[in-house]
Amino acid sequence: MERFLDVAIAGLLLGGLYALIAMGMSLQYGVARVFNIAHGEFIMLGAMTTWTLYTVFNISPLVAVVICGPLAFVLGFIIHRTMFRKLQSLSANQGVFESNSMLASFGLMFVIQNIAFLAWGPEIRTYNYLMETVSIGGALFGARRLVTLGFAIAIGVIFYIFLARTRIGKAIRAAGQDPSTAGLMGVNINWVLALCFGLGAAMAGIAGVLISMSYPDSANMGQEYLTVAIIVVVLGGLGSIPGSFIGGFLLGIIGSIVSFYEPGLNMAAYYAIFVILLLVRPRGIMGR
Amino acid sequence: MWSRIRKNVLPLCFCLLIVITILATFIGCKEEVTTTAPPVTATVTQTVAPPATTTAKPAPKDKIVVGMSRSFSGPIAIIDDSAFRPVYETWVKEVNAAGGIFVAEYGKKLPIELKTYDDKSDPATMAQLTEKLILQDKVDFLWGGGGTSFIYAQAPIANKYNYILITMEGGATTLQEMLPSLPYVFVTLPFSTWYEMPVLADMLASKGVKSAYIIYISDLHGVEYNGAAGIEFGKKGIQILGSKAVPPDIKDLSPVIKEAKASGADAFCAFAYPDQVFPAVGMSIELDYNPKVWLGGPGINFGFFHTGFGPMVEGVMGWAGWNRKSSAALNTLADKLYKDKPEDAQDWWGQAYYWAGLDMWKAAIEKAGTLDNKKVRDILATERFQTVLGETWFDKGLLNKETHAGEVGQWINGVYEVVGPFDKATAEWVYPKPAWPK
């Protein structure tokens, strides 16, 4: 029983982070139609900023959530209102825009990464926060990782309620389904698309804050989380936010089971799932 | 028209910012050429007296160009930034400030000019850039790239074109086996069987350690260290209770740390890189796993391990090369490299060896009196030199183990001390490891 709890809870702890990362990316692609290759860099910015806030200004990472999230939102919003909106107006159709925006996000990734190298250097950064041990049914876990899971679930649920119950959420869903018709119904499409891109960046930023609490960070960390995000987004269904939420937890649990038996096969298992899914159910768990 | 400009001013500014950043990064990383002109009135003590007269002088030359392909960006950038770069930047500045290296065939001192390229942490790119440095740029000498896998790619190229390659960050038993066929390659950094693992096994046996649990990164480095531990620990009767490979990008180490804890092994070893070793430390603290010996590396030897984990580092062990207390010369070197700099910049494993390697290269050029790689190589391979490590020499392409100032280190009272071998220890080994501070 203790072993089962060990594996299951460890999977949920990791899955919560994966879900948060992937939900942001899914929102950006599902509504704003930008397959944001720079998504991992927003995670990195959140993590490195938290490290700076904690080690230089002694600001708690839990407080950093409310600093990094809005900052990442503003950055994402501005980037969409400038770069991606311009690209959209120059693209002949949606397909061309999706290709161009993906290429542009590649460039954005290198720009952010190199700025981060200049700002923080390539060293691995870490800090001690909530290092206490918590026992659940005899299985031991770090308090910081349980806090991370709590945040990930809370943010996922709040975001789902925001999408399902609010007027802006309805506008976002409408824009995701059919931007032209949503525009005709009075939805300010450009604003909504930028909002979605900003929200996706905010989620990445918050994920970065939570990651920095449990894992070492560096200016180079974005790409590895991008890989995970892409796998989860495809697993959940391209553009499906609930799918990403479920997919994140699913991948976390699978990773935990594999790590329990053979840690060396951890990433191999992720890619194997990715390939099997593309062959068996290309639209993902909840894809349209 | 103005309305169009106003309308597009924000996107234009943004694009301009991106272009400027890309250009700045590109220019900064693509090619860095550092030239420090020697002071005209520098007074320097000559190690080798110039000949009284010279005949048939070669074409005039006013500098020694050294080529390097280094990882200024990408995942290996951390190695460049923390290990060899601070050494060569300080060393070249110091040598050039003294006028450069005296080369008899030119009858004068020549300053060093560095020609560096960014290989973006890609060994294939590094191999191409190495050939470019040799064939197109026609540099006088090469210095090594960062990391063991880079040495494997670079060593045969340097050897093929008869260029001396003094390697810096990296070394391996399998590379040692290749060295007889690579006479131009000289390895400075100690590695598993040269003599880290035998020393560690001796140390563990001396304290009665009976068992160990090992995690290792699933690459050449990890496999080699794990294999060496299997042999050396076995010789001392230390039983290996578990040995798990972990991939470079593993996120959750809790299953392996829990398994190690359950094994009850006296010693825990993490033969991996900082990306895995740091999470392993964090997870051990989190799960209150405190074996009698916690050893990891590379990574534990860097100052940024201490700045990151703070007092939690007490008692944690790793690979070590030197310490301020090892000798007066090494204390002076520590001042040169670390004084008035953040602790993050410190590397107590390789930097003394890299510095010694450069000292040997300089002395060999001065003794050869020429920039001919073959003549300099012959001296490097056979002579002994005075460096920061004392009398130093290469033994079949490897820096002789007698010259090593240490193999195993431990964080004691916030200082990374050499604790093994015992005759070179700068502090007494703290065994068993104290509990993680609360």
Whether residue A6 is contained in a domain is answered as: no
Token digits of residue A186: 């009075």
Token digits of residue B316: 């944690």
CB of B335 within 8 Å of a chain A CB? The answer is: no
Bridge partners of B114? B34, B66
Whether residue A284 is contained in a domain is answered as: no
Whether residue A138 is contained in a domain is answered as: yes
B411 alpha carbon, distance to own chain's centre: 19
Pairing mode of beta strands B108-110, B394-395:
unpaired
Cβ of B80 within 8 Å of Cβ of A122? The answer is yes
CB of B251 within 8 Å of a chain A CB? The answer is: yes
| H helix runs in B31-147, sequence order | 77-79, 85-97, 123-135
Cβ of B256 within 8 Å of Cβ of A224? The answer is no
List chain B residues with CB under 8 Å of A111. Answer: 18, 21-22, 25
List chain A residues with CB under 8 Å of B258. Answer: 6, 140
Given this model, what pLDDT does residue B147 score?
Answer: 85
Task: Assess whether the previous peptide bond of B311 is cis (omega < 30° from 0).
Answer: no
CB of B122 within 8 Å of a chain A CB? The answer is: no
Given this model, what pLDDT does residue B257 score?
Answer: 94
CB of B437 within 8 Å of a chain A CB? The answer is: no
Q: How many Cα atoms sit within 13 Å of B153 on the Cβ side?
A: 19
Given this model, what pLDDT does residue A140 score?
Answer: 85
- Nearest Cα of chain B lies from the Cα of A263 at a distance, in angstroms, of 5
Task: Assess whether the previous peptide bond of B432 is cis (omega < 30° from 0).
Answer: yes
Q: How many CB pairs under 8 A join A and B?
A: 141
Burial class (CB in 10 A: 0-12, 13-18, 19+), B346: buried
Instruction: Provide the residue-wise pLDDT of chain B in tens; the chain has 438 residues.
Output: 445 555 555 555 555 555 555 444 444 444 444 433 333 333 333 344 444 444 556 778 999 999 999 999 888 888 888 899 999 999 999 999 999 999 999 999 999 999 999 998 899 999 999 999 999 999 999 999 988 889 999 999 999 999 999 999 988 999 999 999 999 999 999 999 999 999 999 999 999 999 999 999 988 889 999 999 999 999 999 999 999 999 888 888 988 999 999 999 999 999 999 989 999 999 999 999 999 999 998 999 999 999 999 999 999 999 999 999 999 999 999 999 999 999 988 999 999 999 999 999 999 999 999 999 999 999 999 999 999 999 999 999 999 999 999 999 999 999 999 999 999 999 999 999 999 998
A143: three-class secondary structure by DSSP? helix
Whether residue A4 is contained in a domain is answered as: no
Task: Assess whether the previous peptide bond of B156 is cis (omega < 30° from 0).
Answer: no
Question: Could you give the number of structural domains in chain A?
Answer: 1
Show the domain range for A191.
18-226
Residue B236 CA to residue B210 CA, distance in Å, equals: 9
Whether residue A231 is contained in a domain is answered as: no
CB of B60 within 8 Å of a chain A CB? The answer is: no
Name the more confident of A251 and B59: A251
Whether residue A30 is contained in a domain is answered as: yes
Q: How far is CA A54 from CA A48, A65, A117, A204, A210, in A?
A: 10, 12, 19, 19, 13
Residues in chain A: 288
- Nearest Cα of chain B lies from the Cα of A161 at a distance, in angstroms, of 30
Whether residue A111 is contained in a domain is answered as: yes
Cβ of A220 within 8 Å of Cβ of B75? The answer is yes
Local structure of residue A211 (DSSP, 8 states): H
Token digits of residue B276: 């895995």
Residue A75 CA to residue A203 CA, distance in Å, equals: 12
Residues of chain A with pLDDT > 70, as a percent, come to 99
Local structure of residue B49 (DSSP, 8 states): P
- Measured between CB atoms, which of B73, B247, B308 is closest to A126? B308
Whether residue A221 is contained in a domain is answered as: yes
Given this model, what pLDDT does residue A239 score?
Answer: 83
Q: For B255-310, how does the pLDDT look when each residue is reduced to its tens digit (9 = 90+)? A: 899 999 999 999 999 999 998 999 999 999 999 999 999 999 899 999 999 999 99
- How many other C-beta atoms are found inside a 10 Å radius of the C-beta of residue B133? 25
Domains and CATH numbers, chain B: 61-192+346-402 (3.40.50.2300), 196-326+407-424 (3.40.50.2300)
Nearest Cα to Cα of residue B83 among B324, B337, B328: B337
Task: Assess whether the previous peptide bond of B195 is cis (omega < 30° from 0).
Answer: yes
Cβ of B278 within 8 Å of Cβ of A124? The answer is yes
CA dihedral B380, B71, B228, B174 (to 10 degrees): -50
List chain B residues with CB under 8 Å of A12. Answer: none
Q: How far is CA A58 from CA A54, A69, A123, B319, B401, in A?
A: 4, 18, 20, 32, 45
Residue A238 CA to residue A254 CA, distance in Å, equals: 20
Q: How far is CA A60 from CA A45, A130, B286, in A?
A: 16, 10, 18
Cβ of A220 within 8 Å of Cβ of B312? The answer is no
Residue B427 near residue B418 (C-beta atoms within 8 A): yes
- Measured between CB atoms, which of B78, B250, B308 is closest to A263? B250
Q: For B143-179, how does the pLDDT look when each residue is reduced to its tens digit (9 = 90+)? A: 999 888 899 999 999 999 999 999 999 889 999 999 9
- Measured between CB atoms, which of B246, B252, B275 is closest to A14? B252
The torsion region of residue B406 among left (phi > 0), alpha (psi -120 to 50) and beta comes to left
